Amino acid sequence: MHEQYAEYMRGNSPHEKVIRRDVSRTYPEHEFFREANGRGQTSLFNVMKGMVDVSANNRHF
């Protein structure tokens, strides 16, 4: 599973633009997510990108 996640992170997703837009709007008042491209937003983006890619490839999550 770890290798599969790393593979998804290396690849491009057709959903990246939408995920990036939504990540910046997630918990804007919370310190962890406030900084654009900061640790919080980057972490959330990575998780969301992995989930979307896995879901799209497996038809279930």
Residues 19-35 have pLDDT tens digits of 999 998 988 899 999 99
Q: How far is CA 13 from the centre of its chain?
A: 10
pLDDT digits (tens, 9 = 90+) for 1-19: 677 777 767 778 788 899 9
Residues in contact with 8: Cβ distance below 8 Å, sequence separation at least 6, in sequence order: 49, 50, 53, 54
Residue whose tokens read 């900084």: 35
Does residue 59 contact residue 29 with C-beta atoms inside 8 Å?
no
Q: Which of 18, 8, 14 lies closest to 47, judged by CA?
A: 8
pTM above 0.75, yes or no: no
Confidence band, pLDDT 50/70/90 cuts, at residue 39: very high
Contact 33, 44 (CB under 8 A): yes
